[in-house]
């Protein structure tokens, strides 16, 4: 007998090995096997098929061992999904295998023995002596730090909600506690006296659950109706879109649905665009589902991934899996529902490396393979999904009211060009925004300020000759960061010193143009010296975005400044004002999705205002107050926005009226990259028709890490089957390769680019 095996190597084939007799009964599709490969190398592969056809032309090696015993690592449904991913993404089986299987499950004789060290985080919990907070005897807090100890203990009780929930307090990190009460000696005394205790957990692991499961809150009548509507849809359709405005309680509806599916013995996969920012959701779910759930994403340690995987293939799998896009690759034995929350988010798309899949589309495929249902949820659905919903391909359920009928925020559009001319602007701030923030602060409320660029200033430029400081290896201008006093490349991360004088003309008048979140932070601190200000972006995040978010949630900070990271599904109770500092930079994205992204981003950021008590206010500052998209954001007019977008897309033949694939040509030598790309585009135009092929073009960043990049966009008609599209692209690439010398040049394919 022989087995066809997927191996993690960059070749577009499966490999055939002989099955030794004693391994025959265990070598079945989905089992992991250990095989020799090349000179003395050994690899783990996945069996996809067994048969009796001896491959000819070369010697066939033996499988060395079968690594799976009782439970298969890869389920039949997963094999089907992997096959689909490989075709859809035009990548190799090995690419898919590497993306799916945690490296801990695919030992390789070449690699050193998992040099992996888990990252941990330290948490605080009640110690032995803290038995009852009502009767805690504060006189036992002694020593020089007694007062601080009491403060700290009170803080801990507050942060953990210990009084309301003594058996199952919220997890509190040591860092968050010390941030709130800056005395490590007080903390040490509390620990020494057994009042508090520290424990360590791997980052990303769910803190142990105390076993106090609560029922979710009752749904409001409007939510109840949506809930029933979704279930009704699922009677006839496999996919349903829940279009619910921000803070309408979509998450609560998900929780009720999940409960029903689990009660019937099913598994639920809950996908979020960026798990890193969703500790909030995790805690909400954990209160209802306790130990039945797990979390899976790319920041999880290898240990956790292997653990989750093994538990899922075993006899007692988790019922609820909360994950980022990569969780679609998990082995799910009883999948019955997938929820894709914030389905419009571009971060569901995997950019690099292959497979360049879209988490939402893959989820829909996975559900259909498993006979499960998919619920897409968003306040600002993607143009494609909403189109599928109104055409009847998906079900559609709408929720137009916020929970408790709080009105959607009042949105004001402020013309900064005019204000600047009349000298009313104070730096980046209009008087309207300043007044709103002032109001919020004096009423004990909070504000969020959004800007889509981090760093201090956009570029460093010579005032005399126009020279711009750029990265040596990427074709992109640098961003100046004041905190590090250096200019950095946001593509490759390299840092540079800002020169004293212009290297091109020697002039000393270098100036910094544009601005980023660092500069906003500086100006805010000057305008509102009493306010406690925090910044959340990729620069600050490494130092602990979780504590930045929890501090803001607990009211320890007043103003939160941030990039996209503040727009994503965060639920703060006390934010009355949201400011968008410069809408122009959001609207100027060089892409056919520019307007869609601008609408989604602004509506989502705006949705952070006034969620719990009263209507919030949003100030959008812009130099183009007449831009049509702003008016639609102001009126919360999603339907109008969708309609105008469809007209534009139809006129230019973009999705949903066509299916896009981007072919990227890369190489170190610019002239040969250009020549190959031009030939390839001509070959593609022969096969698809000239008006369906755009390019080659240099993308906005046309060189990254010394490699030049050219892109060709293919707009295939909807009547052409996906596999025909793939076949034709392959044909054009082969033809190009046969006529050109393509040494050193690589091609990559991106289906449904975002």
Residues that bind ligand ADP (CB under 6 A): 217-220, 223, 244, 246-252, 403, 571, 611
Q: Which is nearer to Zn ion, 507 or 615 (CB)?
A: 507
Give the whole-angstrom CA distance, residue 581 versus residue 538: 18
Encoding tokens for residue 350? 């995997």
C-beta of 242: minimal distance to ligand ADP in Å?
Answer: 9
- Of 324, 333, 577, nearest to 447 by C-alpha is 577
Q: Which is nearer to Zn ion, 174 or 707 (CB)?
A: 707
C-beta of 244: minimal distance to ligand ADP in Å?
Answer: 5
C-beta of 706: minimal distance to Zn ion in Å?
Answer: 9
DSSP state of 498: P
Out of 11, 111, 163, 465, point to the residue binding Zn ion (CB under 5 A).
Answer: 465
Q: With contact defined as beta carbons under 8 Å apart, do 310 and 296 qualify? A: no
- Of 433, 489, 444, 499, nearest to 467 by C-alpha is 499
C-beta of 507: minimal distance to Zn ion in Å?
Answer: 5
Q: Is 484 in the site for Zn ion (CB under 5 A)?
A: no
Work out what residue 220 binds among Zn ion, ligand ADP, none; the CB cut-off runs from 5 to 8 Å by kind.
ligand ADP
C-beta of 593: minimal distance to Zn ion in Å?
Answer: 25
Give the whole-angstrom CA distance, residue 254 versus residue 248: 12
Listing DSSP states for 595-614 in one string gives: HHHHHHHHHHHHTTSS-SSS
Work out what residue 484 binds among ligand ADP, Zn ion, none; the CB cut-off runs from 5 to 8 Å by kind.
none
Q: What angle do CA 733, 738, 743 make, to 5 degrees?
A: 85
DSSP state of 342: T
Total residue count of the chain as it appears in this document: 754
Q: What angle do CA 633, 636, 640 make, to 5 degrees?
A: 85
Q: Which is nearer to Zn ion, 652 or 706 (CB)?
A: 706
Out of 226, 379, 489, 732, point to the residue binding Zn ion (CB under 5 A).
Answer: 489
Q: Which is nearer to ligand ADP, 206 or 272 (CB)?
A: 272
Work out what residue 507 binds among ligand ADP, Zn ion, none; the CB cut-off runs from 5 to 8 Å by kind.
Zn ion
Q: Is 653 in the site for Zn ion (CB under 5 A)?
A: no
C-beta of 567: minimal distance to ligand ADP in Å?
Answer: 12
C-beta of 497: minimal distance to Zn ion in Å?
Answer: 15
Q: Is 510 in the site for Zn ion (CB under 5 A)?
A: no
Q: With contact defined as beta carbons under 8 Å apart, do 299 and 203 qualify? A: yes
Q: How far apart are the first and last CA of the chain?
A: 45
Q: Which is nearer to ligand ADP, 395 or 516 (CB)?
A: 395
What is the CB-side half-sphere exposure of residue 202 using CA atoms within 13 A?
14
Work out what residue 701 binds among Zn ion, ligand ADP, none; the CB cut-off runs from 5 to 8 Å by kind.
none
Q: With contact defined as beta carbons under 8 Å apart, do 716 and 692 qualify? A: yes
Q: How many CB atoms lie within 10 A of CB 337?
A: 23
Q: Which is nearer to ligand ADP, 633 or 680 (CB)?
A: 633
Q: Which is nearer to ligand ADP, 4 or 342 (CB)?
A: 342
Q: Helix %, strand %, coil % for the chain, to 5?
A: 35, 25, 40
C-beta of 251: minimal distance to ligand ADP in Å?
Answer: 3
Q: Is 71 in the site for Zn ion (CB under 5 A)?
A: no
Give the whole-angstrom CA distance, residue 170 versus residue 168: 7
Q: Which is nearer to ligand ADP, 220 or 525 (CB)?
A: 220
Q: Which is nearer to ligand ADP, 219 or 681 (CB)?
A: 219
C-beta of 577: minimal distance to ligand ADP in Å?
Answer: 18
Torsion, CA 731, CA 737, CA 739, CA 745, rounded to 10 = 140
C-beta of 578: minimal distance to ligand ADP in Å?
Answer: 14
DSSP state of 502: -
Q: Which is nearer to ligand ADP, 75 or 219 (CB)?
A: 219
Work out what residue 247 binds among Zn ion, ligand ADP, none; the CB cut-off runs from 5 to 8 Å by kind.
ligand ADP
Contact positions vs Zn ion (CB under 5 A): 462, 464-465, 467, 471, 473-474, 489, 491-492, 494, 502, 504-505, 507
């Amino acid at each position: 007998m022989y087995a066809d095996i997927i191996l993690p190597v960059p070749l577009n084939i499966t490999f055939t090995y002989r099955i030794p007799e004693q391994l025959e009964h265990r070598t079945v599709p989905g089992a992991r096997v250990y095989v020799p490969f090349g000179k003395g190398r050994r690899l783990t592969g996945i069996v996809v098929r067994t048969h009796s056809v001896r491959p000819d032309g070369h010697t066939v090696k033996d499988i060395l061992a079968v690594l799976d015993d009782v439970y298969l690592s890869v389920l039949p449904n997963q094999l089907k999904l992997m096959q689909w991913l490989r075709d859809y993404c035009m990548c190799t089986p090995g690419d898919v295998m590497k993306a799916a299987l945690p490296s801990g499950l695919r030992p390789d004789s070449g690699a050193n023995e998992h040099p992996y060290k888990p990252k941990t985080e330290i948490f605080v919990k009640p110690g032995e002596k803290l038995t009852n907070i009502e009767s805690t005897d504060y006189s036992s807090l002694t020593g020089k730090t007694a007062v601080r100890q009491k403060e700290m203990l009170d803080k801990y009780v507050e942060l953990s909600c210990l009084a309301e929930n003594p058996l199952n307090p919220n997890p509190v990190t040591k860092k968050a506690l010390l941030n709130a009460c800056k005395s490590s000696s007080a903390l040490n005394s509390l620990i020494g006296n057994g009042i508090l205790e520290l424990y360590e957990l791997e980052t990303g692991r769910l803190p142990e659950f105390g076993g106090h499961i609560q029922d979710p809150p009752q749904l409001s009548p409007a939510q109840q109706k949506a809930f029933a509507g979704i279930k009704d849809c699922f009677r006839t359709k496999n996919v349903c879109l829940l279009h619910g405005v921000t803070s309408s309680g979509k998450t609560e509806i998900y929780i009720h649905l999940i409960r029903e599916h689990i009660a019937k013995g099913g598994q639920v996969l809950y996908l979020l665009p960026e798990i890193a920012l969703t500790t909030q959701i995790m805690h909400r779910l954990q209160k209802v589902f306790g130990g039945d759930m797990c979390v899976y994403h790319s920041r999880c340690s290898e240990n956790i991934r292997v653990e989750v995987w093994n538990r899922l293939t075993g006899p007692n799998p988790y019922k609820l899996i909360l994950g980022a896009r990569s969780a679609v690759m998990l082995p799910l034995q009883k999948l019955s529902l997938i929820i894709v929350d914030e389905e419009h988010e571009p971060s569901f798309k995997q950019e690099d490396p292959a497979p360049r899949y879209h988490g939402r589309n893959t989820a829909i495929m996975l559900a259909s393979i498993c006979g499960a249902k998919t619920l897409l949820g968003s306040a600002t659905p993607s143009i494609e999904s909403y189109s599928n919903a109104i055409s009847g391909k998906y079900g559609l359920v709408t929720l137009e009211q916020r929970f408790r009928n709080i009105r959607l925020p009042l949105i004001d559009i402020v013309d900064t060009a005019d204000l600047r001319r009349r000298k009313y602007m104070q730096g980046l701030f209009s008087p309207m925004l300043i007044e709103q923030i002032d109001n919020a602060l004096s009423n004990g409320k909070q504000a969020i300020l959004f800007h889509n660029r981090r760093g201090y200033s956009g570029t460093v430029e010579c005032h005399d000759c126009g020279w711009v400081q750029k990265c040596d290896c990427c074709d992109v201008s640098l961003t100046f960061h004041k905190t590090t006093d250096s200019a950095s490349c946001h593509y490759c991360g390299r840092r540079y010193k800002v020169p004293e004088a212009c290297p091109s003309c020697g002039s000393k008048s270098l100036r910094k143009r544009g601005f980023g979140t660092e500069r906003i932070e500086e100006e805010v601190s000057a305008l509102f010296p009493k306010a406690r200000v925090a910044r959340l972006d990729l620069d600050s995040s490494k130092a602990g975005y979780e504590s930045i978010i929890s501090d803001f949630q607990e009211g320890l900070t007043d103003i939160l400044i941030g990039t996209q990271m503040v727009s994503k599904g965060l639920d703060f109770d006390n934010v009355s004002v949201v400011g968008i500092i410069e809408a122009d930079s959001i609207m100027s994205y060089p892409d056919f999705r520019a307007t869609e992204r601008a609408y989604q981003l602004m509506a989502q950021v705006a949705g952070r205002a006034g969620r719990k008590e009263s209507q919030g206010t949003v100030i959008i500052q812009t130099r183009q107050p007449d831009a049509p998209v702003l008016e639609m954001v102001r009126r919360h007019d999603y339907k109008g926005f969708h309609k105008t977008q469809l007209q534009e897309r139809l006129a230019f033949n973009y999705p949903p009226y066509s299916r896009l694939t981007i072919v990227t040509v890369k190489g170190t030598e610019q002239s040969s990259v250009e020549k190959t790309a031009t030939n390839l585009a001509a070959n593609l135009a022969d096969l698809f028709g000239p008006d369906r092929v755009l390019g080659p073009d240099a993308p906005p960043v046309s060189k990254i890490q010394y490699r030049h990049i050219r892109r060709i966009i293919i707009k295939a008609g909807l009547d052409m089957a996906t596999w025909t599209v793939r076949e034709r692209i392959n044909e054009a690439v082969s033809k190009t390769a046969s006529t050109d010398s393509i040494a050193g040049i690589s091609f990559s394919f991106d289906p449904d680019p975002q």
